[in-house]
Amino acid sequence: MQAEDRIRINLTVNGSSVSQQVEARRTLADFLRYDLGLTGTHTGCEQGACGACTVLLDGVAVRSCLIFASQLDGAAVETVEGLANESLHPLQEAFHRHHALQCGYCTPGFLMAAKELLTVNPDPSETEIRQALSGQICRCTGYENIVQAVREAADTLHGAKGRDA
């Protein structure tokens, strides 16, 4: 790889500043996994169809397999590793409580898509939850427990009481 095929980017990943040279055509998913060691972002189809690689880019859920890291100078990226601080995020707790994961491969993408939803819509209806997660594919769970987990997390995060899932 020649030096001119590499681009320096400065961005924030999970709240930490990162300055690194990247190959011009390296995807964000590969940059996160192989350059930064953040393996929570999974690659599934590598065509943007399954949602396993979903991360937040400047607060918006995106497919990291479809974006070049070299495009992200000045951006802020949040991965599933950025959800938990000293304890699990309410979404992670709710996914655990509702058994909203089985093999777990799709879970990071679901969590990040759900985080975006709850940021822009703190009290989503079941229909709104299903719509927001419609681009995420899970071959194990049947989605019901995922929807219930997101509803519970919304209630926890925003203080709603006594609402049915």
CATH 1.10.150.120 fits 90-158, yes or no: yes
User: How do the domains of the chain map onto residue ranges?
Assistant: 3-82, 90-158
**What is the predicted pLDDT for the residue at 129?**
98
Which numeric CATH code is attached to 3-82? 3.10.20.30
Tens-place pLDDT, residues 53-91: 999 999 999 999 999 999 999 999 999 999 998 899 999
What 3-state class would DSSP assign to 46? coil
The angle, 0 to 180 degrees and rounded to 10, between the axes of the packed helices 144-158 and 107-120 is 40
Lowest average pLDDT, out of 2-11, 21-30, 40-49, 103-112, goes to 2-11
Q: Which of 68, 78, 66 is nearest to 22 (CA)?
A: 68
For range 142-164, the mean pLDDT: 84
In angstroms, the CA 51 to CA 48 distance is: 6
Q: Which residues of 25-61 are buried (b: 16+ CB within 10 A; e: fewer)?
A: ebbbbbbbbeebebebbbbbeeebebbbbbbbbeeeb
pLDDT at residue 1 in the model: 52
Query: In terms of DSSP H, where are the helices of 74-138?
Result: 90-97, 107-120, 126-132
